[in-house]
Chain A
């Protein structure tokens, strides 16, 4: 009897030790496995349609969409990853923040959706891809542009706004923080001198620490089924809080910048010129996206929630001079949309605003095509 219990105890010990060893090997082995492009394995564009916009969702159960940080998976789930049927088509990629992604708008009513409708069946065969992503950062834009260039687009429409440019916020964006490897390689590739490299921690990539990301990858595939079945990729609330129009408290400073400071020194403009210079073969058009110009209390000093007037006015001048100096095609559409056509943020458009913007961009595209034709001749 005693012998039995002793051998039982030995067996239990062995089982426990072996289990712990196996768990440790799997956990730390994942550090090396995580370097493989697992995110590229996707059911999108294979068993169900690719998404019209990059995955983003704060309430997955309602939006059938979720926010994740695996860039491979994000692009693999997008319709841009579909094998293009006609290589002769002109492919235009739209880069920007939540306004371009189309917050509160159904995929067909986003800027890219409307442009695709406008140019559908047109003899020019122009296809627009929505690669906007709901976070405002020029470094995040660069990350998306860099990946989008792998698909050889003909033209990139890059929508920017002042809020995307402050140097001090570039590394604070979640998708940037969670992709240190990609961000560092981009910083080196595009020779960005003003952005610091992110410290990469090896232990962040253990299986235990990556469990959330792995689960997100699986969930993204599952939500793809619901996206295909319903066409829903965002939560559409019946009511929302409209963007702030009255400003009781005036904030003079913009980030750490005072009205007396030179705003240009605080902006990560270097990113734009370096990218355009290093991306020969793809045309870029820079567009200053429309903002809400408030008519409420203290609107004489504040345009909207984001911008004191002095800062935004200075920014517009900076951009004008900067694009002229660097020979970048640039449109300033800051005041294109009436105040009433903004939804829950100073940069989120209503359906009507999307139409106004689409009409304007149509002219931009037509001008671009005409110019290209003339250049060909």
Chain B
């Protein structure tokens, strides 16, 4: 999001809060979120792709709602109204291709009307089919499988490239210009994670008691669309239905969050971006002191950048009166890696803990009772961090980043376990001292900073060169 977009979201949220009643909240979120996904989707050189992705986001949202929602007890009329409204919005956006409504097509990627109609017919067919299939479990896991498959295609360069070439071919465009960069589905990562959360929860609870309007609002929620946090659906629903805090309280808190976020993102992070580790610097810096400098600056930069965006999202959401979860809790002051990863991108870590780490650990410990639990724990920590790494992109560097952090967590657990056994669970005096705590914070920070070397650079060679310079004589 750029500054103009942020100002727009602040203004529109303020207008809602000042002039509309709470009963319009779900409609407001839904309409603005749909407009947002079309607005934020970058223009693609592949014909119709920039409108296809937002349309698909909404479509798979509707399909996953059909799968995840309870069949009984839902207000049929209300959901039909929402469904027809969403379809109408898409058609209006499609028609605006021919009849520019207030120059709408200048601001958002406008799909071709005929294409929109085709998508919608297919969507209605899928929706109709799923509604009457009795074995929901197969469809549920099938849906999760499709979401992961799309994820793999989007995050893997060769596969994205192949898709780009294929789409160019069917659009009768030059295949030679195909590029993986063309396949940019904005917001998919977060939408997919929210959808998978909803689907798995629906399986646990035998269907979710959520309306289509509320569900789509949750999936596409505009303040958190680009950079999270990944809220839980029940928490989001509670927030929608809760009695709002006094306006002045919300606005003051929102102002504080937004001002802090803007400062972090546009002043601190953007300034540090100039002097933080990147591919060009990794190849040109020969002094180890300067290399340490740019590596450490990168750690601060990525924190201020991400936390800045999160604070802005929290602030905009607070204007509307919805409190979405915090994503960071002073991670740079963490004395151990475990605490660091509990405080960094909290909602993503919680997601992986809930849907991968905990169930898988339970399963492995049951299945392999003879295997040392520390080994199982180590295996799970490493694979969890690898999966989080691959979530950012499927490449060797993100894999290495995952291994680095996973191994770090594993070693830290072994060392902590060893000390605990030796001291009988009591903390020795030196562990309570300020010096020890400071040393732990610095050590954790340095380990995480070195891990970012894998994350910041595109190739293993570039990363290895940085490590070589860092530890050269």
Contacts and interface: CB of A to CB of B under 8 A. Distances in A.
A262 interface: no
Interface string A1-27: 000110010011001000000000000
Contacts of A11: 248
Contacts of B275: 222, 225-226
A61 B294 CA distance: 15
Contacts of B251: 12
A218 B251 CA distance: 32
B290 A229 contact: yes
Contact of A230 (B248, B274, B281): B281
A62 B287 CA distance: 19
A366 to B, nearest CB: 36
B166 interface: no
A226 B281 contact: yes
Contacts of B252: 15
A4 B281 CA distance: 57
Interface residues of B, number: 16
Contacts of B285: 229-230
Nearest to B248: A8
Nearest to A219: B274
Nearest to A232: B284
Contacts of A61: 274
Interface in A211-237: 218-219, 222-223, 225-226, 228-230, 232
B125 interface: no
B247 interface: yes
Interface string B284-323: 1101001001100000000000000000000000000000
B281 A229 contact: yes
Interface string B266-279: 00000100110000
Contacts of A228: 290
A232 B246 CA distance: 55
Given A8-B248, A226-B274, A62 B293 contact: no
Contact of B246 (A8, A62, A223): A8
Contacts of A230: 281, 284-285
Max chain B Cβ within 10 angstroms of own Cβ: one of A60, A62, A222, A223: A222
A223 B274 contact: yes
A225 B247 contact: no
B280 interface: yes
A375 to B, nearest CB: 46
Nearest to A12: B248
Nearest to A4: B246
Contacts of A12: 247-248, 251
A11 B252 CA distance: 10
Interface string A41-72: 00000000000000000001110000000000
Nearest to A230: B284
Nearest to A48: B290
B288 to A, nearest CB: 11
Contacts of B284: 229-230, 232
Contact of B287 (A15, A219, A229, A232): A229
B144 to A, nearest CB: 41
Contacts of B290: 225, 228-229
A9 to B, nearest CB: 8
Contacts of A60: 274
A218 B272 CA distance: 11
A261 to B, nearest CB: 49
Contacts of B248: 8, 11-12
A61 B276 CA distance: 11
Nearest to B249: A8
A62 B280 contact: yes
Contacts of B246: 4, 8
Contacts of B293: 225, 229
A21 to B, nearest CB: 16
Contacts of A4: 246
Nearest to A11: B248
A12 to B, nearest CB: 6
Interface in B234-255: 246-248, 251-252
Contacts of B271: 218-219, 222
A11 B248 CA distance: 8
Max chain B Cβ within 10 angstroms of own Cβ: one of A5, A60, A223, A229: A229
A51 B120 CA distance: 61
A225 B246 CA distance: 48
B122 to A, nearest CB: 44
A232 B285 CA distance: 10
B271 to A, nearest CB: 6
Nearest to B280: A62
Nearest to A66: B274
Interface string B62-74: 0000000000000
Contacts of B247: 5, 8, 12
A4 B293 CA distance: 52
A63 to B, nearest CB: 11
A329 to B, nearest CB: 42
A5 B274 CA distance: 46
Nearest to B297: A225
B264 to A, nearest CB: 16
Contacts of A226: 274-275, 281
Contacts of A223: 274
A8 B244 CA distance: 14
Nearest to B289: A229
A169 to B, nearest CB: 34
Max chain B Cβ within 10 angstroms of own Cβ: one of A5, A225, A228: A225
A95 B274 CA distance: 30
Contacts of A218: 271
A270 B252 CA distance: 62
A223 B284 CA distance: 14
Interface string A231-265: 01000000000000000000000000000000000
B70 to A, nearest CB: 37
Contacts of A225: 275, 290, 293
Nearest to B251: A12
Max chain A Cβ within 10 angstroms of own Cβ: one of B248, B271, B294: B248
Nearest to B294: A229
A1 B245 CA distance: 13
A223 B281 CA distance: 12
A163 to B, nearest CB: 34
Nearest to B252: A15
A222 B287 contact: no
Nearest to B284: A230
A232 B290 CA distance: 14
Contacts of B274: 60-61, 219, 222-223, 226
A11 B247 CA distance: 10
Contacts of A222: 271, 274-275
A260 B177 CA distance: 54
Contacts of A5: 247
Contacts of A232: 284
A61 B279 CA distance: 12
B20 to A, nearest CB: 15
5 contacts: A61-B274, A222-B275, A229-B284, A230-B281, A230-B285
| A-B interface, 4 closest residue pairs, ranked by CB to CB distance from nearest | A229-B290, A8-B248, A230-B284, A222-B274
Given A8-B247, A223-B274, A230-B285, 8 more contacts: A11-B248, A15-B252, A219-B271, A222-B271, A222-B274, A226-B281, A229-B293, A232-B284
